[in-house]
Structure 1
């Protein structure tokens, strides 16, 4: 199978390596050199590079991965969609909720959104516990992700990277939007929310460095989401509290644990050995590329589709409106 990729930054390279791990090495990359393109490392020498879109699509990719900065997602995906090619788009889907309607309704079934955490063994275990009824009715949840921006990609100047720049679609709400997707994936669709966000640190960025959201999910559960570029440790964790107990999860070390009201605990995932977090992250990306390959082969629907990506964009739009109005804002699914 020939697969194409647009954008060969850190996440683009990771997707290509994950594809190789599942046996897919017929890869063509569109590299226009408009960004901060670097030569590919020796282990990716098998990737064929094209400098223009016509040559890229003349190679006949059966599926296309879009891993450009957020502000370039829409233009990149439309080239594939016009040709009827399934496309995997890194999150967030587009830079603003207003641009969702530029994706024609008749082509949206071809879009897979890159919410990789759905494929992480920890989140898969949490989801399985919820679906089994172990937790019972969900009452409330707390989801958090934080990391110190200058240390995220130590090989790059954080001030010039997309996540630090408004015109490229940066900021915690977009860059760390996985937690917004997890709120829907684990707790049900969010109907309304209130938020606070802004830049409070001395980081040299022109986007928000923190955000706090309180969301009302399906069934009435309240979900609190915290995001920041400030934590000296890279942390991703959550807690869900329900009728029969609680589920706590973390990514490093990877763990997902249920605790019931009667005492005791049932540990579904727990690995404190060296490198466990990285091994599970590698498995997550492989699982995601397995899924995209199956989508390209028309064997299944995407694990995260256009509607999932659009819903998170609607949450981001509602959060930004709430910051301005200092009020609760409904999450409108206006793209339908």
Structure 2
């Protein structure tokens, strides 16, 4: 067994606890947590817990995962980065570009946790669109926010509060990152964010926006927090036909006959493996600096698009 790797998680909500599960399956990794104990999941965990920053720093972590509310990401990460500790920050990296730029001096020690980069479906589509370039792409992501975390009142969660960096366009920014990973930075951005539903929140619950890539592809996004069904779908049109994807399955439809053909399918455990691969990637980043997670610059580019839509 190699050297022990100590990883500190700041925040033990649903995603923090998921990360703990996957870290535990990696040989030689010891997780611990720095927390306030005031969140929706305030019950004690079964890992070492700290409630003061000084105690967490004295744990001498090799890596830190920032998984508290978005508006706290930058200020939480800085004390560890100043100590030369590598940090993985949950998406989005912050609520604003102006605040997130405080991290630039430490860019080499930062990665951003856009987990879809590790999903087999995303990897397949990235390779596919490198060969068969789309001219129009669409992403639709939607779910009913009160059902997202059944253990909590959605109104108390960061997603429903502007002061905590919530809102649909920031919470569901995975697809923005995926589009940047597949097609690069856009030449133009247009769209709207709005609060349109009956949900009790002071931030956007609907976003519709469109990008134009440097290769002239039109990329559309529609996101909301009020669909009764969980929707996570995409489509792309190329010279050869139309591709559709959802739930780990990719289908291809030819223009001439309209027949649907499945060309890719993920195993049922693909989602769990995605998170596992992301945690293993962070451990590798701690060891030698290599990583497939998003960089700080990638995270800033996502925020740049969000702020352009919000203008």
| TM-score, length basis structure 1 | 0.86
**Partner residue of 1:196 out of 187, 192, 197:** 192
- Determine the C-alpha separation between the residues in 2 that align with 1:70 and 1:280: 26
Q: How do 1:156-175 residues align onto structure 2 when only pairs under 5 Å count?
A: 156-175=152-171
**What's the CA shift for 1:228?**
0.2
- Determine the C-alpha separation between the residues in 1 that align with 2:210 and 2:55: 47
Q: How do 1:10-159 residues align onto structure 2 when only pairs under 5 Å count?
A: 10-23=14-27, 25-36=29-40, 38-41=42-45, 45=46, 47-103=47-103, 105-131=104-130, 133=131, 135=132, 137-159=133-155
**Partner residue of 1:237 out of 233, 240, 246:** 233
**What's the CA shift for 1:231?**
0.8
Greater strand fraction, Structure 1 or Structure 2: 2
Q: Which residue of 2 aligns with 1:328?
A: none
Q: Which residue of 1 aligns with 2:262?
A: 267
Name the count of aligned residue pairs.
306
Q: Which residue of 1 aligns with 2:211?
A: 215
**What's the CA shift for 1:102?**
1.3
Contact 1:144 1:235 in 2 (8 A): yes
Q: Is 1:307 matched with 2:306?
A: no
**What's the CA shift for 1:99?**
1.1
**What's the CA shift for 1:112?**
0.6
Aligned Cα root-mean-square deviation (Å): 1.8
Secondary structure of 1:292's counterpart equals helix
- Determine the C-alpha separation between the residues in 2 that align with 1:129 and 1:87: 31
**What's the CA shift for 1:77?**
1.0
Q: Which residue of 1 aligns with 2:272?
A: 282
Q: Which moved more, 1:84-93 or 1:237-246?
A: 237-246
**Partner residue of 1:257 out of 247, 251, 262:** 251
Q: Structure 1 pair 40/269, CA: closer, same or farther in 2 (3 Å)? A: farther
Q: Structure 1 pair 138/29, CA: closer, same or farther in 2 (3 Å)? A: same
Contact 1:138 1:187 in 2 (8 A): no
Stretches of structure 2 that go unaligned for 5 or more consecutive residues are none
- Determine the C-alpha separation between the residues in 2 that align with 1:84 and 1:302: 20
| TM-score, length basis structure 2 | 0.93
Stretches of structure 1 that go unaligned for 5 or more consecutive residues are 322-336
